Amino acid sequence: METITVDKLPLDEKIILILKKRGIRTLNPPQAEAIKKGLLEGKRLLVTSPTASGKTLIAELGMVNYLLSKGGKAIYITPLRALTNEKYNTFKDWESLGLKIGMSSGDYDTDDSWLENYDIIVTTYEKLDSLWRHKAKWLNDVSYFVLDEFHYLNDPERGPTVESVAIRAKRKGVVLGLSATISNGNEIAKWLNAELVATNWRPVPLKEGIIYPEKKDFIIVYKDNSTRKVYGDDPIIAYTIDIVSKGGQVLVFRSSRKLAESTARKIAQYMNFIKLEDKKLLDIGREIKEVDDAGTNEKEDLYNLIIKGVSYHHAGLSKKLRDIIESSFRERILKVIVATPTLAAGVNLPARAVIIGDIYRYNRKVVGYMDLIPVMDYKQMSGRAGRPGFDENGEAVIVVRSKREAQKVFERYLMSDVEPIESKLGSESAFYSFLISIIASEGEKTERELLEYVKETLLPKELAKKYFKSGLNWLLDHDIFIKIEDKIKLSRFGSRISDLYINPFTAVTIREALEKSEKSCEIAYLHLLAYTPDGPTISVSKSEEEALIDELNCELLVDEPEDEYEFSNYISALKVAFIVYDWINEIDEDTILGKYGIGSGDLRAIIDTMDWLTYSGFHVASVLELKDHKEVLEELHMRVKDGIKPELIELVKVPGIGRARARLLYQHDIKRPEDIVMNPEKVKRLLGPNLGEKIVREAARIIA
């Protein structure tokens, strides 16, 4: 392919200057192909190429050139908040051209009107869906949509929203889809009304292989049939030490947190033979110990690993811990991360080598059953191998138990294409939410007009019509939709649940439980919210199950189900309820983590979700005019975020005051923001002069 230098591009000189500042003089093959297919003319494109092949720059050139030549706004949409932050920081370069970069994620009950002043907005699929539902006026100016990580269409949880957003985006402006390999790229490009740009080019070539035991050692067979041996008692340790001893970094993927942690500890025992940057690792270890949103035991465990150049990484860790681990790996100080597969889909963390330790994972719906991981998941993990600028090759190996198994795995993962992208709107919950989203964002529609949107889904036509009929009836029967003459609209109840961005089954579960019940205990409300489809799920052992039931001393708002799978969700919700109950009664965080066997990241995720669900429950009770339930849920919501008893609610309204500072002030007879303003010296004595001064100012601002 002919090389394209940036000087030859029909771009504003200021754009070319920014590219050169980044060290970009020529475009790589996917970028050159996108230019040839009409990127700079505002053509719709679907770009599929491997990880780290420069797709973000394609989006930047498309957006910036379009905005400078045609005006309007552009939205860059990602599936993950971590990616939203990453892209936002990358795009800040363009502010020197006078373009303002904004970012928004989370908080679904707002239209973010402040974004009207921004030109490029980075957000998540869910947040954009929510903004459309709130009819944010500034969205009328958006005419360029970048759909990042577009293979998330195939994700059972996120896929329905990605598809819903894509359907509306392609009706409203230019669409640029970006993805790793999509095997049915022509079909998906046609659906987007876009031209396909598909390449297999990678900046660092990838060597893929299988590692299996042979006599007392381990042999690696690569895709090109070349082989080599590594020596030791364990394939993961042997291969990791081999790579690290040659100056490389390794990402190891394990199927569970427990395996990730135990594997990291085993590898750490062998790191004494590796030359490490001890002083820098000690500094990182100390930084870990000072993190304030994590448990003491977690920090101690990670410290002991990190000083040996190794760490584990999973969602059970707090965000601050994960950030430190990721940045120290990027800086090449940390040599090995053992992670669960969620890391592969998240932030950009390349390594010389990737080890896929497990090709099976537990099926959450069938107890004791293991599924083979999809080829797409393998591609996501192996795609992290090879650091541009550091490695001549990246290596990805799959661990298997025998030579016989190696052949099957070789065929399935190394020689096969990824699964075709298919619609994930084929469930009642997803499809009904899709219908609500269309009416909320596009306004009232006739049945025929709404069906036109349904026909644009990727679902087979007959299946889409079937879901449409049953969905429409269910939404009308449950007073979410109302029909006036021939127009379908949202009811008052439907409009509120759409704004709250909760699953319609969550809303109906809450409504039915509250309407048939008298005022109940706090645990009962927390259990109800956790038991909805939007509630957090958590594993519960048999002994925990018995203890939870024994500890329960009030009647729950939902009846115990007979179905075994539903009962496990019911008990999971009860554990969540007790965790949150302890949290809002100011039980120490370390005690909660130890008592329930969870990590600080789990606790934060549970709190964030239950903060949203108590807010939603309070608003559902409010719109239904259930005064007693509303009062309990409103107070619970005010307590969940900070983990406080009722008497501290007023104090934590002051920015900078959390549960610990509020309790300290309260114990010294400072109980309201007014007390802070009236006793500035006392506050400074309790909190320290600088922080105290700041808190007094914030309190004064609140009561002004």
Residue type, 379: K
Q: Do 478 and 408 have their domain in common?
A: no
Tell whether the torsion through CA atoms of 430, 432, 437 and 442 is positive or negative: positive
* Residues 439 and 490 sit within 8 Å (Cβ to Cβ): yes
Q: What is the pLDDT of residue 390?
A: 86
Note whether 623 and 667 are same-domain residues: no
Does 402 fall in a domain? yes
User: Which distant-in-sequence residues (6+ apart) come within 8 Å of 50 by Cβ?
Assistant: 180, 181, 200, 201, 202, 206, 383
**Which pLDDT belongs to residue 2?**
61
Q: Which of 345, 411, 420 is nearest to 383 (CA)?
A: 345
What CA–CA distance (Å, rounded) separates 414 from 50?
15
Cβ count near 90 (within 10 Å): 18
In a domain, 141, yes or no: yes
In-domain check, residue 102: yes
Q: Is the confidence at residue 321, as pLDDT, over 70?
A: yes
Output the pLDDT for position 348: 79
Residue 618 phi, psi (nearest 5):
-60, -40
Conformation bin of residue 275: beta by default, left when phi > 0, alpha when psi is -120 to 50: beta
Mean pLDDT in the chain? 94
CA gap 61, 199 in Å, rounded:
18
Q: Is 535 within the bounds of a domain?
A: yes
Mean pLDDT of 181-209: 95
Mapping DSSP to helix (H, G, I), strand (E, B) and coil, where does residue 363 land? coil
Read off the pTM: 0.94
Q: Are residues 391 and 244 in the same domain?
A: yes
Say whether both 317 and 341 belong to one domain. yes
Q: Same structural domain for residues 395 and 270?
A: yes
Question: Do 231 and 134 share a structural domain?
Answer: no
> What would you report as the CA-atom Rg of the chain, rounded to the nearest whole angstrom?
27
Output the CA torsion 141→146→152→157 (10° steps).
-20
CATH of the domain at 588: 1.10.3380.30
Q: Read out DSSP for 276-340? A: --HHHHHHHHHHHHT-SSS-HHHHHHHHHHHTTTEEEE-TTS-HHHHHHHHHHHHTT-S-EEEE-
CATH number of the domain that 181 lies in? 3.40.50.300
Over residues 609-650, the pLDDT tens digits come to 999 999 999 999 999 999 999 999 999 999 999 999 999 999
> What are the DSSP E strand ranges found in 81-154?
101-104, 120-124, 142-147
Query: 68 in helix, strand or coil?
Result: helix
- Do 698 and 570 fall within a single domain? no
Helix (H, G, I), strand (E, B) or coil at 511: helix
For residue 487, what is the domain's CATH number? 1.10.10.10
pLDDT of residue 108: 81
**168-186 average pLDDT score:** 94
- For residue 346, name the pLDDT band (cuts at 50, 70, 90): low
Domain count, the chain: 5
* Residue 31 annotated in ligand binding: yes
pLDDT digits (tens, 9 = 90+) for 186-198: 999 999 999 999 9
With H, G, I as helix, E, B as strand and everything else as coil, classify residue 420: coil
Which residue range(s) make up the domain with 122? Answer: 4-198
Using the 3D structure, point to which of 643, 665, 680 is the last residue of a domain: 643
Give per-residue pLDDT as tens, 54-105: 999 999 999 999 999 999 999 999 998 888 998 999 999 999 999 999 999 8
Q: Where residue 662 sits, what CATH number does that domain have? A: 1.10.150.20
295 domain residue, yes or no:
yes
Q: How large is the average pLDDT for residues 453-461?
A: 96
Percentage of residues in the chain with pLDDT exceeding 70? 99
Please check whether residues 164 and 82 belong to one and the same domain: yes
**192 and 214 together in one domain:** no
Clarify whether residues 212 and 88 are in a common domain.
no
| 366 — pLDDT class (breaks 50, 70, 90) | low
How buried is residue 86: exposed, middle or buried, by Cβ count under 10 Å (0-12/13-18/19+)?
middle
- Identify the pLDDT of residue 368: 57
What is the phi-psi region of residue 127: left when phi exceeds 0, alpha when psi lies from -120 to 50, beta otherwise?
Answer: alpha
Tell me whether residue 422 is in a domain: no
Domain boundary among 171, 198, 225: 198
Q: Are 584 and 645 spatial neighbours (Cβ–Cβ below 8 Å)? A: yes
Would residue 421 count as lying in a domain? no
Residue 236 CA to chain centroid, in angstroms?
28
The strand pairing partners of 8, in sequence order, are none
Round to whole Å and give the CA distance between 633 and 278. 51
Quote the pLDDT of residue 630.
97
Average pLDDT over residues 526-535: 97
Question: Based on the domain organization, do 368 and 302 belong to the same domain?
Answer: yes
Dist. CA 499–CA 367, nearest whole Å: 36
Answer yes or no: is 438 within a domain: yes
Say if CB 23 and CB 106 are below 8 A apart: no
The contacts of residue 425 (CB under 8 Å, 6+ apart) are 159, 160, 163, 164, 431, 434, 457, 458, 459, 464, 467
Two structure tokens written together for 671: 């109980």
> Do residues 262 and 318 both lie within one domain?
yes
pLDDT for position 367: 55
Residue type, 207: K
Q: How far apart are CA 566 and CA 569, in angstroms?
A: 5
Residue 106 has pLDDT above 80, yes or no: no
Q: Among 178, 198, 218, where does a domain finish?
A: 198
